[in-house]
Amino acid sequence: MPAAKLGAGQANCKFGVVIWHEGAVTALAKAAQAAIDAAMRPDILNPLFAEIDTLDGVGPKLRKPLDKLGLTRVRDVAYHLPERFVTRRAVGNLDEAGEGEQIVIQLTPTEHRAPRMQGRGPYRVFAQDVVGNICALTYFGRASYTAKKQLPVGETRWVAGKLERYGDMLQIVHPDHVLEEGGESLQRLCEPVYALSEGLTQPKLAGLAEQALGQLPRLAEWIDPGQFDKNGWPAWSDALKLAHKAENASARDRLAYDELLANSLALLLVRADNRQRKGRALKGDHSRRSKLDLPFPLTGAQQRSIREIEEDLAQESPMLRLLQGDVGAGKTVVALEAMLVAVEAEAQAAMLAPTEILARQHYETLRQMLRPTGVEIALLTGRDKGRSRESILMGLLDGSIDIVVGTHAIFQEAVQYRDLGLVVIDEQHRFGVAQRLMLTRKGKRTPHTLAMTATPIPRTLTLAQYGEMDVSRLDELPPGRQAIDTRVVGQDRLGEVVEGVGRHIGSGRQAYWVCPMVHDNESLDIAAAEARYAALKEQFGDTVVLVHGQLDATEKDAAMARFASGDAKLLVATTVIEVGVDVPAATLMVIEQAERFGLAQLHQLRGRVGRGADKSVCLLLRGEALSETGRKRLALMRETQDGFRIAEEDLELRGGGELLGTRQSGDTPFRIANLEQIQRMLPIAHDDARLLIERDGGLKSPRGEAARTLLYLFERDYGVQLLRGG
């Protein structure tokens, strides 16, 4: 009965996870937003879910940079927690300040210098202190307009920001404050530092946060009273206010716990719902698989996983299985076999990839492999428009297309299948449960789901994070893989590294050069990547290509295609290549400022090499000021290629010391909880959720009601939708 009640028209799903790279998500989020409005959100949350432009000072101009940060509603601002806090010291002159220090100082601009080429390089304002020391105030992109207004030559200003050295020059990049007077007050003030995007400033965001915090409703407590008292946590609204004001471990923990609890509750509700659903048993007859002509024998782990999947598919109750395998373990071919089982049983299969690049690549790989089988495969992404899109939609509806590979576009409302039997979700960690559900609403019956992930989350967390799924593990790499020779090299040896890259590509081989995302401001990172690209291109010529998140899709494709075909030898990229790109001939990877990356991310990046039979090398360039922990973390990367060991030891190395740094949890479905909090509190939250559901499965008690509000607050309300269905 619940399955019948939850028809496609009622797919009131909202995402459990915000995906940060893909523009496509905005449109989807809007569609989902409409769905949620129609759903039964408690009125008390309405002020929080009001559009962000209901806040003072948010006009059309600010919408875009706010959108970029995923801030579209009042709620999002309240949960946009500071990345850290600064306390500044006022100094009389630059000699009193240390490099890397946050300072407040009086400076007098002497000269404005625009970039030599329009749109390239920074805008610099040279300014001097009272004793005549010179310092550059450096601006990228449109921020230069602000500089022109705020820093007239000859007029003294209070400037607050982080003093850095750039070559021989002292500089402050994008000062936090420029004031005509009253700058002394900035001293010793503890100020939040928020993640920004171009067009936003710290004071602006702080102002919005203050407004959002002023509108918090009083919500009934959803945390178990025992938990709550034992930890001495603040109430929800107090916790949010405290977390914006200063470092406060208790407040942060409470907010993280909320998120973990919401996630566990939703997962458990999904699992309960899935148990009651009816799917269709898919039994293959090997008619297609026997025609496959794989260039390699399957590993034992691959064969075992395929068997497990086959057994699930043969059941009527829909499969919910996670295929977990380290980078390079060969998940794609397992997915292929599973999809062929569906096709043999005269059903269709859909494969969802998190990025356009990856979708395209899967499509090409699968198409090659499928050639002898006569199976029809199509690619559908947000970019397909007009005729080609129409014909794909037709093919899916009339069943002439057996397999479709694509991005989110494959589960838009307009996409209808004749008989969708299996959904494969690659790089599962990038998607939330709700998106999976949206897909499973597509078939007449609930299709089987195979999710794949390379995220080496520690074993202890698997259950809690993927609690609603069965797990198959690819714990064996294909044979003949050579260990990747990983070396840690000081950034000061950049010259040698470039020469090495030159020799490598000179001999016809390929390489990746990865530039980090380190600034609050994406434009700064892109500027750095572009500068590196320009330098390498000057040295090596046209064989160098660039890929980053702000390029449009055609440019990205063109660069990727040149690299994949072997025409381009060196790919300079930001972390967009992190996920799944497979170019076996690329055997060298350089990662700049490696200490800035999370280890899980480094591991994923490194997994792009070592895919062919040739020996691969990964060079981790490290900055000069490396902490003891930082040194140990890079040493760990050198020592092992075991993703699980890396994940587990990384957690240990970082310990509880890292209070903030929510970015570190980018590989999990959590935005507030960081890895350490996840490890410490997720098992507790999971038990708590289970107990609550055991006692009050319909969430009808006062605490159950509060828990419903929590699910809406964290947009895990599909859990509630399922409840309504049941």
Output 12 or 601, the one with its CB closest to ligand ADP. Answer: 601
- Residue 584 binds: one of ligand ADP, Mg ion, none (C-beta under 5 to 8 A by kind): ligand ADP
Q: For Mg ion, which stretch binds (CB under 5 A), given 270-278, 489-497, 513-521, 572-580? A: 572-580
Q: Which of 75, 331, 569, 654 binds ligand ADP (CB under 6 A)?
A: 331
* Residue with smallest beta-carbon separation from ligand ADP: 330
For residues 672 and 187, the answer to whether their CB atoms sit within 8 Å is: no
299 contributes a contact to ligand ADP by CB under 6 A: yes
Q: For Mg ion, which stretch binds (CB under 5 A), given 44-52, 60-68, 577-585, 713-721? A: 577-585
Size of the site for ligand ADP (CB under 6 A): 18
Q: Which of 329, 450, 568, 711 binds ligand ADP (CB under 6 A)?
A: 329
Min dist CB 426 to Mg ion, Å, is 6
Output 234 or 328, the one with its CB closest to Mg ion. Answer: 328
Q: Would you put residue 324 in left (φ > 0), alpha (ψ -120 to 50) or beta?
A: beta
- Three-state secondary-structure class, residue 17: coil
Q: Position 171: which residue type?
A: Q
Q: Which of 161, 443, 580, 643 binds Mg ion (CB under 5 A)?
A: 580
What crossing angle do the helices spanning 599-606 and 628-639 adopt, rounded to 10°? Answer: 30
327 contributes a contact to ligand ADP by CB under 6 A: yes
For residues 633 and 603, the answer to whether their CB atoms sit within 8 Å is: no
Q: Which of 296, 565, 614, 691 binds ligand ADP (CB under 6 A)?
A: 296
Output 177 or 331, the one with its CB closest to Mg ion. Answer: 331
Q: Which residue has the tokens 């089982």?
A: 341
Q: How many CB atoms lie within 10 A of CB 370?
A: 21
611 contributes a contact to ligand ADP by CB under 6 A: yes
Residue 672 CB partners (closer than 8 Å, separation 6+): 79, 81, 255, 256, 258, 259, 662
Q: Which of 18, 213, 242, 298 binds ligand ADP (CB under 6 A)?
A: 298
Min dist CB 615 to ligand ADP, Å, is 16
Q: How far is CA 610 from the centre of its chain?
A: 24
Min dist CB 645 to Mg ion, Å, is 20
Residue 527 CB partners (closer than 8 Å, separation 6+): 121, 122, 140, 141
For residues 85 and 246, the answer to whether their CB atoms sit within 8 Å is: yes
Q: Which of 141, 330, 354, 643 binds ligand ADP (CB under 6 A)?
A: 330
Q: For ligand ADP, which stretch binds (CB under 6 A), given 291-299, 509-517, 541-549, 707-715? A: 291-299
Min dist CB 354 to ligand ADP, Å, is 12
For residues 193 and 86, the answer to whether their CB atoms sit within 8 Å is: yes
The footprint of ligand ADP on residues 467-496 (CB under 6 A) is: 478
Q: Which residue has the tokens 């479905």?
A: 669
> CA 264, 268, 269 angle in degrees (round to 5)?
115
Output 329 or 651, the one with its CB closest to ligand ADP. Answer: 329
Min dist CB 557 to ligand ADP, Å, is 19
Min dist CB 527 to ligand ADP, Å, is 31
Q: Position 544: which residue type?
A: V
Output 145 or 296, the one with its CB closest to ligand ADP. Answer: 296
Min dist CB 481 to ligand ADP, Å, is 8
DSSP string for residues in 187-254: BT-EEEE----TT--HHHHHHHHHHHHTTPPP----S-HHHHHHHTPPPHHHHHHHHHHS--HHHHHH
Q: How many CB atoms lie within 10 A of CB 87?
A: 12
The dihedrals phi and psi of 293, each to the nearest 5 degrees, come to: -125, 80
Residues that bind ligand ADP (CB under 6 A): 296, 298-299, 302, 325, 327-333, 454, 478, 580, 582, 584, 611
Sites of contact with Mg ion (CB under 5 A): 580
